[in-house]
Structure formats: structure tokens, C-alpha cells
Structure 1
Amino acid sequence: MAIPHSFDSVLDKAQVTLDDAIGSTSAAVATLASHARGEERIDTVNFPVEETLVRETVELLDRWKSLALSLVKDLDRVTAEADLQHRRRFDENAGFEDASLLRRKLARGPMKPEAIIADLDAALSASATLDLLFKQARPALSRCFHDCEIHLEGAIKRRRKLDFEIEEVQRDADAVITRIASLRRSLPLASHPDAHPELGEDYRDLLAEQDEIRKRERGLQSDRMMRQRLIDIYEGLAGVLNAQIAAVGAMAGKLTVDIEQRIALLKALALEVDPPSLVAVRPAAVESLIQAFESNVLAGHDLAARKAHVDFVFARRLEPHLLSAPAEVEETSDDVQPEG
């Protein structure tokens, strides 16, 4: 079973990683904003630095998600073990149907209600902290995603404007080529423009104009290529942020139902102990969770079905490789349901 406060170090690491990820994401989005602003050229952009900034941001976001995912799963395992120990008090064969070594070990040694309660208290304390992390992460990541999308729209509009400018320059180039060809056709065969001073000057002017148009087109093409490269970099970041927000929603949704399960189990165990023998001073955050549970008339309602639902959404979003084949094939409307 879980050791009280054993989640503290992981929660501290998750908090630091989340802060770093949000800070890095904000810096990356601010950098994009500086490029998307105005009509200036971006030929001075240091793309290796930009790519490194975004890559490190994505790595921090993935590290945060991995830590949060592990915490949700570890807390769920603690709850499952506590539930098994509680069932063992009424059915000594509970757990033997599972062939896993851990379940067999737990089934051999039923715990006292006070010990199970202590583990649930530790899990609830960690749940309260993790819940606050999710409440911090979701709006911060959503804000970064929204800002990134706005700046990307500005960058894309500028690239589209470059597309139109390039098309216009190419039309000018085609017109000059046509004029040069027409001028050449007007000359007698085997003659040269220099042999006709009045035509030679026009010919040289057209060649100079053609060179200037080509120079303008090269500059526009270079600017467009760099802006497209910048867009590709930050579209990748926007995609990661969108996936992160969905992952946080799935984890927070599961944690909410799991907290209800822990509190319901805690209340069931409290009826089996002698109150004077149980000294439980719970943290304010845990007491707040319990009070919210007690004030919600729907808390604990249809808990098994709701937990099965959030577990499936959680696995489909974050661990699709663990889903069984039928579950993968089955079409549901979970994606369009609002998350609490």
C-alpha cells in the first residue's frame, strides 16, 4: 500500500515541471508574436534557436504530462488496493480471482480499517494537490494555445500577402519577357539591337527591368520560405498544446471521479472503526474535497458506471495501445461531451 506523503516528491517535481513548461511556452509564443507583428522582413531570424526553443518547450510539456499521468495512475492503483482490502473484510476470497502477484499478496494480508483509511487520506491529499495543478495547467495552456493561434493567423496572412506579391511580380516578369520577345521580332533577321540605336536603348531598359523584377522575386521568395518555415515550427507547437489541453481534460475528468470513489470508500470504512480510536487530522484541502462531496447531491451516484466511462476516455486519450480491440472499434460520442 502507499506510504503517507510518498507522493510529495513527485508532486513537487510535477509543479516545477509545469511552471517551467508554462514559462517556456509563453516565451515561445511571445517570440512568435514578435515575428508575426508588422510587415518587416524576417531575414534575421535565427531558426536553429527558434527550433531549439520550441523543441525544449515540447519536451517540458511532454515531461509534465508524463508526470501527471503517472500520478493519476498511481493514485488509482492505491484506491484499487484499498478497495480490495475493504472487500477482503467481508469476503476472504476477494482478490484470488486475479492471478497477478500483487493481488495475491494483498489478498493474503487483509489490513485494518484504520490502515486503509490512512492510505486513502494520503491518496486524497495527493489528489487535492494534483487537482490544483490541473486547474492551473488547463487555463494557462489554453491561453498559450489561443495566443499561438492568433499569432499564427497573422503570420499566415503575411505569407499569403507574399504569395499575391510574388504572383504580381511574376506577371510583371512575363509581361517584360513578352515585350523583349516582341522587340526582338521587330528587328531584321541576323541583326542586333545595337545596330538600331532607338531600339537598343529600349532593349537595354527592358533587360534592366527584367533583372530588377528577378531580384524582387528572389527577395520575396526568400521571405516567403522563411515565413513558411516559421509557421511550420509553431504549428507544431500549437498541435502539441492542443493535445496537452485534451490530455489535461481527460486526466482531470478521471481524477474527479476517482476522488469521489476514494471519499465514498473512506466513508464506508469510517463506519467500521471505533471513532475514539481513530485520530485523523486531515489537511484543509482534503477536508474541502470531502465537504464538496457531501454538499453535492449527485456525488457518488452511479459511481461504477461513471468510473468505467472516464477510465475508457482516459485510456483512449492517453493510452490507446492498452485498449482492447472491441473498444477501439466501438464508436462513441465521448469526444463531443463537455468535460467537467
Structure 2
Amino acid sequence: MSPSELMPIGVFARRCGLTSSALRFYADSGLLPPAEVDPVSGYRFYGAEQLTRATALRQLREIAMPLPGVEAVLAAEAGEASRLVDAHVAKIVGDASAALRKAADVMSSLGGAPALPIAALKGPVLADAVEQVLTATAHDPSLPVLGALRVEADLEAVTLTATDRYRLSTRTLVPSAPPGRTWAGTVSGDDLRTAACHIRRSALVRLEAGPHGIWFRTTGREDRYARLLTEEFPDHRLVLDSLGTVTGRATVSKEPFLRALEEQPGERVELRLSGRAVEVRPAGGRHPGIALPATTTGAPLRVRFELTTLHPAVSTAIGPDVMLDLRGHDQPVTIRSADRGDLTTLAMPVNPSHGPRR
């Protein structure tokens, strides 16, 4: 390789995103030796074909993979390399969850305000409710509450609520025993997702609130902990109280409805309600729609949705039939079970001329 085809270490460092000192370290460790070293000056030079390996090395170190693991990934075939990366990430996630639980134990042992009993709920029911409501969350670093779940307990029930501004989902649970107090907090959605699979395997889960998080106490299993967020949760009651009058209603079988949504080719779908049918078709397209038998009331109506907004709202509905309460083509649609009212989702439609309503 001629000198003109080589890059000095500084140029190569800028191209691959590593520092010169890091390149020297990886050269000394054998992970990324230079293509050539000037025998007189000791200057190191790298070839353009080494950029891919250098970039992969940097990315693997950015996910905290130790050097032996990096070496194994870089030496492996594509399938085995992916398996090794997956195993490393799974270990990081497991270690983080364990650290959170241990930190919660430490904080509890240091004293301060004791955990307050909130309510006792059936584990499988609570896990289902958490997963259903969390479908209405979004990961937004600037607004962490959009990825959280609001937990509210009064003297009769426990209510879970989440919103990503396009959907608002809420479910009410009746505890095994009446809650002993009123309480409200905004709980980390990521922590709840991790806890849900453990909660599901417990017949009864006791909720206890501490100053910085909520405990899920179980019998014969390890307790789980979820952090409280300090950011203010959106005023979902204002949204619910300001809903317009329902002008139409449609009841349709859930499974055919989901299949029709999944068969649509575009990112947006249009529902056409008329007579005794709901037609599901691509929004603004010429593809034929799928007509589903339905019980409808009110005037014919066309409503458009982002598929990522409507599908989760329908898929989490409880029971075989879904009920849609309609208020107009540009107003929120209420989606719930046709025979149970403890899980309700509001889905925001798309304004055909202005895109998603915000």
C-alpha cells in the first residue's frame, strides 16, 4: 500500500470517531493495529478499509462491551456477532434492573418516610392493565411523562392512565380490598414494563408508595420497584371533560377489525361508517376497502387515523367486540369494549388537510 493511500492517525481518528490516544491503545491491545508504522519516526498510518472495523469497535465500546467481548464480536460471522451483542445488551438491562432494586432496598434501609400501603390487586389483572395502558405512551426525552403511567387510588378503585398526545388510555381496577387511602403518582413506564412480567406470576400484589417510588410487594417472590417522576402529568381530566357530544356509534368484531387494519398498505387508514358496516381502507388511496359487518347509529362519517394510533387502541380493547363513539371527522374517537367500560382509549384522528392533530 503506497503512502498516498494511507491516512495519518489524526485523520483516521476524525474519520472513525475515535481519539488518537484510543487508537494507540487499541493498536497496543491488538484490536486495531495500524496498516503501517514509519520505522524512523514511529508515525502510525491507517487504510480506508480499516474504517469499518474501527467504527464497529467504537460503537461496541459505546455500549460498554469489554475488550474480550469486542474482540469476539469483530472475529465472528454476522449471525454469531449479532447473538453476542444481544447477549451483552440483555446482561446490561438485567444488571440495571438489579441495581435499581438494590438501590431501592438501600434507600429503604436508610430510613426516612415509611412506605404507605395503597391497595392490593390481583397480579395477572394488574399486569394486563399496565401493558394495555402503556401502549398509549411515547419515548420523548424532552417530555418523560409521555412515557409514564399515572397511578391514582381513591377509596374505591385504582386508575391507570397514559397519554402520548395522540392517544389517551385509562383503565380502572377494583382492588381485592378497598384502598386504605387516596394517593396519586406518575410512575416510570420503563420500570413498569420490567415489573409487569413478575407481577403477572403473583396471585396478589400489594402496592406501597414511598417518597421516590412505588413498591409491588408479592408473597414468595422478589418485590419490584418503580420510580416516581417529578414532572407534571398532562391534565387528562380536562381532556375527558371537554369531549364533545357523541354523534354516532359503531360496534364491530375486534379480530376482523384488527385483520383489516393490518392488511392496509399505507401509514394511514380511513374508516367509513354507513348503514350496517364499517369499511376500512387506505386513507386517500384507490385501493378497495374491507367492509366489516357492524351495528351503527348516526349519520355516515369518514374518519382518518395514523395506523400506529388506531391499531394499539383496538388491539388492547377487552372482549370480542369493540365500540367506537364518534364526534366528527376531526374529533377524538372513544374506543372501548362493547360490554366492559374499565378500559377506555381516546384516539386522535388525522385532519385530511393538516396532518395529525396536535
Which TM class, normalised by the smaller chain length? under 0.3
Higher helix share: 1
**Structure showing greater Rg:** 1
Task: Give the TM-score normalised by structure 2.
Answer: 0.19
Name the one with the larger strand percent: 2
